[in-house]
Structure 1
């Protein structure tokens, strides 16, 4: 990860693992982290950010589940190739925006039902 900085705001209501996941997903989907580029080890990134290794590991697990990175024993963690026909940028951007919105809504005290209803209403208003 040459010169690309990931930062964590400890005053944010968004959990640190989610901040890491969202920033890396954005860097990958925008092409700033290229396919095959190696990411720091969990321990290294945790040390750089002053966080527990488990926090970074959770972010990496979620990125791996989203097929944005791959971890191979002996080869480290690298940016994964996009699946054939994938709309990686748009899908990742939607996921990032949704996670940020949900974190924001939760920080304001809204629950899942409130958020889902607000999204439904917003779509209905667009259609009228």
Structure 2
């Protein structure tokens, strides 16, 4: 379920993209799952169809989804976190919260580790 926050610093298209990405990476949206049609999701979220289309286009450009006329927009297989990786991420999040770290702190730590 996607929830838009009008007070969020990023716009609705970015919020949609980020939330769908998280749903795919967590496995909540399974490989080959069909995303709602652009107009349907736009109506549900009360945004312009172009906003949803922009989010879907960005998801497609990163390879997370594929779009076909007859098949709609579907999650690409093989792009979800496996169960062990997801549990590792959840452990890191739990430890970071206990340590009082912000999301930005954790992202910085991950960036340093990623580049090491």
TM-score of the superposed pair, with normalisation by structure 2:
0.68
Question: How many angstroms does 1:10 deviate by?
Answer: 1.0
> Residue by residue, what CA displacement relative to the aligned partner does 1:23-55 show, whole Å, maximum 9, x if unpaired?
000000111100111110010000000000111
How many residue pairs match? The answer is 89
Q: Secondary structure of 1:43's partner? A: helix
Name stretches of at least 5 consecutive residues in structure 2 with no aligned partner.
Answer: 90-102
Aligned residue for 1:42?
Answer: 38
| RMSD (Å), alpha carbons | 2.4
TM-score of the superposed pair, with normalisation by structure 1:
0.62
Aligned ranges 1:11-50 → 2 under 5 Å: 11-50=7-46
Name stretches of at least 5 consecutive residues in structure 1 with no aligned partner.
Answer: 94-99, 102-118
Extract structure 1 runs of 4+ deviating beyond 6 A.
Answer: none
Q: Secondary structure of 1:14's partner? A: coil
Q: 1:8 aligned to 2:4?
A: yes
Q: 1:78 aligned to 2:74?
A: yes
